[in-house]
Amino acid sequence: MILKSCIFSWKFVFKLFTLKHKVLFINLKHKIMTAQNSNRLTIILSAAGLLLLVPLVAMQFTNEVNWTFSDFIVAGVLLFGTGGLIELAMRKINKVGTRVWVILGILIVLFLVWAELAVGIFGTPFAGS
């Protein structure tokens, strides 16, 4: 009887330890994934901000780059919006192939809108000069 209770208690302790270990592992995995997601978002938004600095710095050295405040606003909306959509696609779409096509589509739309605003490839009223 004492042997059975001793074996039972060791099994119980072992099961309790493995259950606690699994919960700890799942919690640690969730924290790592959350850190990766927030780190990726920080990288995407930093890249968009650095891209906005390129014309700002160029304006200091040459008169050929002449952006107004509204140009920076439109470029910021396009870059940060695209970055946000890419992050949303990375978080919500599980299949890698689908994710790649969606992100590629987002980038194509960005480039087409940017080209239309810059030189007017489609001839819309929003086209640049």
Query: pLDDT by residue (tens digit) across 26-79?
Result: 555 555 555 566 788 889 889 999 999 999 999 999 999 899 999 999 999 999
pLDDT single digits (tens) 14-26 = 555 555 555 545 5
Is the pLDDT at 113 greater than 50? The verdict is: yes
When computed from its CA atoms, the radius of gyration of the chain, rounded to whole angstroms, is: 26
CA torsion through residues 59, 63, 68, 71, sign: negative
Token duo for residue 58: 């160029």
Token duo for residue 85: 């959509």
Q: Are 106 and 82 in contact (CB under 8 A)?
A: yes
Between 26 and 92, whose confidence is greater? 92
pLDDT value at residue 126 = 75
pLDDT value at residue 120 = 83
Residue 83 identity:
G
Q: Are 5 and 55 in contact (CB under 8 A)?
A: no
Between 16 and 84, whose confidence is greater? 84
Residue from 39, 40, 118 nearest 78 by CA: 118
